[in-house]
Structure 1
Amino acid sequence: MNTAVGDELPPLQVRLSRADLVRYAGASLDFNPIHWNEAYAREVGLPDVIAHGMLTMALAGRLVTAWTGDPAAIVEYGVRFTRPVVVPDDADGALVELSGKVGERREDGTLRIDITAKFDGRTVLGKAVALVRPR
Protein backbone atom coordinates (compact mmCIF):
# COMPACT_ATOMS: atom_id res chain seq x y z
CA MET A 1 0.00 0.00 0.00
CA ASN A 2 1.90 3.03 -1.24
CA THR A 3 0.00 6.14 -0.22
CA ALA A 4 0.58 9.80 0.33
CA VAL A 5 -0.91 12.29 2.73
CA GLY A 6 -4.13 13.57 1.19
CA ASP A 7 -4.93 10.36 -0.72
CA GLU A 8 -8.64 9.57 -0.46
CA LEU A 9 -10.14 6.19 0.34
CA PRO A 10 -12.88 4.91 -1.95
CA PRO A 11 -16.16 6.22 -0.50
CA LEU A 12 -18.71 3.87 1.01
CA GLN A 13 -22.48 4.30 1.23
CA VAL A 14 -24.54 2.05 3.47
CA ARG A 15 -28.30 2.09 3.74
CA LEU A 16 -29.61 1.04 7.17
CA SER A 17 -33.10 -0.32 7.69
CA ARG A 18 -35.03 -1.10 10.86
CA ALA A 19 -34.33 -4.78 10.13
CA ASP A 20 -30.58 -4.00 10.21
CA LEU A 21 -31.04 -2.48 13.67
CA VAL A 22 -32.83 -5.60 14.90
CA ARG A 23 -30.03 -7.81 13.54
CA TYR A 24 -27.38 -5.60 15.14
CA ALA A 25 -29.25 -5.62 18.47
CA GLY A 26 -29.24 -9.41 18.41
CA ALA A 27 -25.54 -9.59 17.59
CA SER A 28 -24.50 -6.95 20.13
CA LEU A 29 -27.12 -7.74 22.80
CA ASP A 30 -27.99 -4.02 22.85
CA PHE A 31 -31.78 -4.08 23.02
CA ASN A 32 -32.21 -0.46 24.15
CA PRO A 33 -35.72 0.52 22.94
CA ILE A 34 -34.42 3.72 21.31
CA HIS A 35 -33.16 1.41 18.57
CA TRP A 36 -36.49 -0.31 17.80
CA ASN A 37 -39.44 1.36 19.56
CA GLU A 38 -40.55 4.58 17.89
CA ALA A 39 -42.88 5.63 20.73
CA TYR A 40 -40.15 5.16 23.32
CA ALA A 41 -37.55 6.98 21.21
CA ARG A 42 -39.87 9.97 20.85
CA GLU A 43 -40.74 9.86 24.55
CA VAL A 44 -37.08 10.34 25.46
CA GLY A 45 -36.71 13.26 23.03
CA LEU A 46 -35.40 11.61 19.88
CA PRO A 47 -36.99 12.33 16.50
CA ASP A 48 -37.48 8.58 15.82
CA VAL A 49 -35.66 5.28 16.22
CA ILE A 50 -31.88 5.71 15.92
CA ALA A 51 -29.08 3.40 14.84
CA HIS A 52 -26.72 2.06 17.47
CA GLY A 53 -23.70 4.32 17.78
CA MET A 54 -21.41 1.31 17.68
CA LEU A 55 -23.05 0.19 14.44
CA THR A 56 -22.24 3.58 12.90
CA MET A 57 -18.69 3.25 14.22
CA ALA A 58 -18.43 -0.23 12.70
CA LEU A 59 -19.52 1.11 9.30
CA ALA A 60 -16.74 3.69 9.45
CA GLY A 61 -14.32 0.90 10.32
CA ARG A 62 -15.58 -1.04 7.30
CA LEU A 63 -14.53 1.89 5.11
CA VAL A 64 -10.95 1.46 6.31
CA THR A 65 -10.85 -2.35 6.21
CA ALA A 66 -12.26 -2.37 2.69
CA TRP A 67 -9.40 -0.08 1.70
CA THR A 68 -6.65 -2.02 3.50
CA GLY A 69 -8.04 -5.43 2.60
CA ASP A 70 -6.96 -6.59 6.06
CA PRO A 71 -8.87 -5.86 9.30
CA ALA A 72 -5.68 -6.60 11.27
CA ALA A 73 -4.02 -3.57 9.64
CA ILE A 74 -5.98 -1.29 11.99
CA VAL A 75 -3.88 -0.84 15.13
CA GLU A 76 -5.96 1.92 16.74
CA TYR A 77 -9.41 3.33 16.11
CA GLY A 78 -11.62 5.85 17.87
CA VAL A 79 -14.58 8.15 17.30
CA ARG A 80 -16.88 10.53 19.13
CA PHE A 81 -20.60 10.21 18.61
CA THR A 82 -21.86 13.66 17.64
CA ARG A 83 -25.30 13.12 16.11
CA PRO A 84 -27.64 10.14 15.79
CA VAL A 85 -28.54 8.34 12.59
CA VAL A 86 -32.34 8.39 12.47
CA VAL A 87 -33.74 5.29 10.78
CA PRO A 88 -37.29 5.75 9.48
CA ASP A 89 -39.71 2.85 9.19
CA ASP A 90 -39.84 2.83 5.39
CA ALA A 91 -38.29 1.07 2.41
CA ASP A 92 -35.45 3.61 2.08
CA GLY A 93 -34.14 3.56 5.65
CA ALA A 94 -31.18 5.82 6.41
CA LEU A 95 -28.21 6.43 4.10
CA VAL A 96 -24.85 6.71 5.87
CA GLU A 97 -22.12 8.19 3.67
CA LEU A 98 -18.51 7.45 4.59
CA SER A 99 -15.28 8.89 3.30
CA GLY A 100 -11.71 9.04 4.45
CA LYS A 101 -8.27 10.27 3.59
CA VAL A 102 -4.72 9.77 4.67
CA GLY A 103 -4.07 12.54 7.17
CA GLU A 104 -0.54 11.66 8.20
CA ARG A 105 2.27 9.22 7.50
CA ARG A 106 4.18 8.65 10.73
CA GLU A 107 7.87 7.86 11.16
CA ASP A 108 7.04 4.26 12.10
CA GLY A 109 5.26 3.80 8.76
CA THR A 110 1.73 3.86 10.14
CA LEU A 111 -0.92 5.99 8.49
CA ARG A 112 -3.50 8.15 10.21
CA ILE A 113 -6.80 7.87 8.39
CA ASP A 114 -9.26 10.70 8.97
CA ILE A 115 -12.82 9.44 8.53
CA THR A 116 -16.00 11.36 7.81
CA ALA A 117 -19.39 9.78 8.42
CA LYS A 118 -22.49 11.68 7.34
CA PHE A 119 -26.21 11.15 7.53
CA ASP A 120 -28.64 13.57 5.92
CA GLY A 121 -25.69 15.79 4.94
CA ARG A 122 -24.51 16.20 8.54
CA THR A 123 -21.55 14.66 10.31
CA VAL A 124 -22.49 11.93 12.79
CA LEU A 125 -19.01 10.98 14.05
CA GLY A 126 -16.42 13.43 15.31
CA LYS A 127 -12.70 12.86 15.59
CA ALA A 128 -13.07 9.58 13.72
CA VAL A 129 -9.51 8.40 13.23
CA ALA A 130 -7.94 5.04 12.45
CA LEU A 131 -4.25 4.28 12.72
CA VAL A 132 -3.26 1.74 10.06
CA ARG A 133 -0.10 -0.30 9.63
CA PRO A 134 0.19 -1.08 5.92
CA ARG A 135 1.28 -4.64 5.15
Structure 2
Amino acid sequence: MTFPLRWLWWLPVLLLLQACSSIPTLPVAPTTTPVAGVQGMASYYGARHHGRKTASGERFNQNALTAAHRTLPFGTRVRVTNLNNQKSVVVRINDRGPYAKGRIIDLSAEAARELNMIRAGVAKVRVERLE
Protein backbone atom coordinates (compact mmCIF):
# COMPACT_ATOMS: atom_id res chain seq x y z
CA MET A 1 0.00 0.00 0.00
CA THR A 2 1.49 3.32 -1.01
CA PHE A 3 0.79 6.66 0.60
CA PRO A 4 -0.79 9.12 -1.86
CA LEU A 5 1.54 12.11 -2.24
CA ARG A 6 -1.38 14.42 -2.94
CA TRP A 7 -2.15 14.39 0.78
CA LEU A 8 1.22 15.94 1.70
CA TRP A 9 0.17 19.48 0.71
CA TRP A 10 -1.93 19.57 3.91
CA LEU A 11 1.12 19.16 6.13
CA PRO A 12 2.53 22.71 5.67
CA VAL A 13 -0.96 24.18 6.04
CA LEU A 14 -1.50 22.34 9.31
CA LEU A 15 1.90 23.38 10.63
CA LEU A 16 1.20 27.02 9.73
CA LEU A 17 -2.17 26.94 11.45
CA GLN A 18 -0.62 25.36 14.52
CA ALA A 19 2.08 28.05 14.71
CA CYS A 20 -0.47 30.87 14.41
CA SER A 21 -2.86 29.55 17.00
CA SER A 22 -2.56 30.53 20.60
CA ILE A 23 -3.85 28.85 23.69
CA PRO A 24 -5.34 31.25 26.21
CA THR A 25 -3.54 31.16 29.53
CA LEU A 26 -5.26 31.58 32.84
CA PRO A 27 -3.80 33.98 35.36
CA VAL A 28 -1.79 32.17 37.99
CA ALA A 29 -1.52 33.41 41.55
CA PRO A 30 2.09 34.08 42.55
CA THR A 31 3.56 31.30 44.63
CA THR A 32 6.27 33.46 46.15
CA THR A 33 4.06 35.42 48.52
CA PRO A 34 2.50 33.69 51.50
CA VAL A 35 -0.93 34.67 52.75
CA ALA A 36 -0.91 37.35 55.44
CA GLY A 37 -0.78 35.97 58.95
CA VAL A 38 1.19 32.75 58.36
CA GLN A 39 2.07 31.06 61.64
CA GLY A 40 5.00 28.80 62.40
CA MET A 41 8.31 28.54 64.18
CA ALA A 42 11.01 31.20 63.99
CA SER A 43 14.66 30.98 64.90
CA TYR A 44 17.50 33.48 64.78
CA TYR A 45 21.09 33.71 63.64
CA GLY A 46 23.75 36.10 64.80
CA ALA A 47 27.45 36.29 65.63
CA ARG A 48 28.59 33.35 63.52
CA HIS A 49 27.16 34.94 60.36
CA HIS A 50 27.88 38.58 61.24
CA GLY A 51 29.66 40.33 58.35
CA ARG A 52 29.10 37.54 55.81
CA LYS A 53 27.29 38.22 52.56
CA THR A 54 23.60 37.41 52.49
CA ALA A 55 21.73 36.03 49.48
CA SER A 56 20.75 39.60 48.56
CA GLY A 57 24.43 40.58 48.38
CA GLU A 58 24.53 42.83 51.42
CA ARG A 59 26.53 42.05 54.54
CA PHE A 60 24.63 40.45 57.41
CA ASN A 61 24.42 42.66 60.47
CA GLN A 62 23.21 40.84 63.58
CA ASN A 63 22.27 44.21 65.11
CA ALA A 64 19.92 45.21 62.27
CA LEU A 65 16.24 44.32 62.05
CA THR A 66 16.47 41.85 59.18
CA ALA A 67 15.36 38.31 58.43
CA ALA A 68 15.73 35.37 56.08
CA HIS A 69 12.70 33.96 54.27
CA ARG A 70 12.50 31.23 51.63
CA THR A 71 10.31 33.01 49.06
CA LEU A 72 9.53 36.64 49.90
CA PRO A 73 11.32 39.18 47.67
CA PHE A 74 14.35 40.95 49.10
CA GLY A 75 13.40 44.27 50.68
CA THR A 76 9.94 43.09 51.73
CA ARG A 77 8.98 44.28 55.19
CA VAL A 78 7.12 41.90 57.47
CA ARG A 79 5.74 42.15 60.98
CA VAL A 80 6.75 39.18 63.11
CA THR A 81 4.73 38.63 66.28
CA ASN A 82 5.85 36.28 69.04
CA LEU A 83 2.66 34.39 69.89
CA ASN A 84 3.93 33.55 73.39
CA ASN A 85 4.15 37.18 74.57
CA GLN A 86 2.48 39.22 71.75
CA LYS A 87 5.63 41.31 71.18
CA SER A 88 6.17 42.24 67.55
CA VAL A 89 8.91 43.68 65.36
CA VAL A 90 9.07 44.85 61.74
CA VAL A 91 11.98 43.34 59.80
CA ARG A 92 13.26 43.56 56.23
CA ILE A 93 13.90 40.38 54.23
CA ASN A 94 17.51 40.34 53.01
CA ASP A 95 18.47 36.65 53.00
CA ARG A 96 17.21 33.17 52.12
CA GLY A 97 16.35 30.55 54.67
CA PRO A 98 15.65 29.13 57.14
CA TYR A 99 17.09 25.77 56.27
CA ALA A 100 16.07 24.05 59.52
CA LYS A 101 13.02 21.85 59.06
CA GLY A 102 9.79 23.26 60.44
CA ARG A 103 10.90 26.93 60.53
CA ILE A 104 9.25 29.69 58.50
CA ILE A 105 11.62 32.60 59.17
CA ASP A 106 15.13 33.26 60.52
CA LEU A 107 15.54 36.54 62.37
CA SER A 108 18.60 38.61 63.12
CA ALA A 109 19.77 38.50 66.73
CA GLU A 110 18.45 42.06 67.33
CA ALA A 111 14.98 41.13 66.06
CA ALA A 112 15.03 38.04 68.29
CA ARG A 113 15.97 40.24 71.28
CA GLU A 114 13.02 42.53 70.62
CA LEU A 115 10.72 39.48 70.52
CA ASN A 116 12.26 38.17 73.76
CA MET A 117 13.19 34.82 72.20
CA ILE A 118 16.99 34.80 72.63
CA ARG A 119 16.98 32.37 75.56
CA ALA A 120 14.55 29.91 73.95
CA GLY A 121 16.21 30.14 70.52
CA VAL A 122 12.94 29.45 68.75
CA ALA A 123 9.41 30.78 69.14
CA LYS A 124 5.99 30.34 67.58
CA VAL A 125 5.33 33.46 65.50
CA ARG A 126 2.90 35.03 63.06
CA VAL A 127 4.44 36.62 59.95
CA GLU A 128 2.46 39.35 58.18
CA ARG A 129 3.62 41.03 54.98
CA LEU A 130 3.39 44.82 55.10
CA GLU A 131 2.49 46.88 52.04
Q: What TM-score do you get using the length of structure 1 for normalisation?
A: 0.28
Higher helix share: 1
Q: What TM-score do you get using the length of structure 2 for normalisation?
A: 0.29
